[in-house]
Amino acid sequence: MKIDKETPWQDLTPGGTIYDAGNSKEFKTGDWRSMKPIWDSEKCKQCGLCFPVCPDDSIPVNKEQKRGNFNYDFCKGCGVCAKVCPFGAIVMEEEGK
């Protein structure tokens, strides 16, 4: 069906509807952030305080329980990770810098 400005709202697909469980990885939601966390692996002590507070699970942890760099496809730039880092290993900078 072709949708244009004359299409009645009843014929539109409802937005925000989740049709299948576990499909959040299909939707890359990090492209609207204005601030971006930058991880300094040299300062990081692998304390593990940052990844449990990430609301978008954007901090990967490997099998050895070591964190990796951010998954920017899903990071929204909230800055919670930077706030909890006691070593200054995560700083927020303006997106696109």
For the entire predicted model, the pTM comes to 0.72
DSSP label at residue 34: S
Tokens matching residue 74 = 């899903």
H or E element in which residue 25 lies: none
Q: What structural domains does the chain harbor? A: 29-97 (3.30.70.20)
Radius of gyration of the chain from its Cα atoms, rounded to whole angstroms = 18
Tokens matching residue 93 = 């900078």
Beta bridge partners of 7: none
Dump pLDDT digits (tens) for 35-59.
Answer: 999 999 999 999 999 999 999 889 9
- In this prediction, residue 16 carries a pLDDT of 65
The pLDDT of 9-23, averaged and rounded, is 73
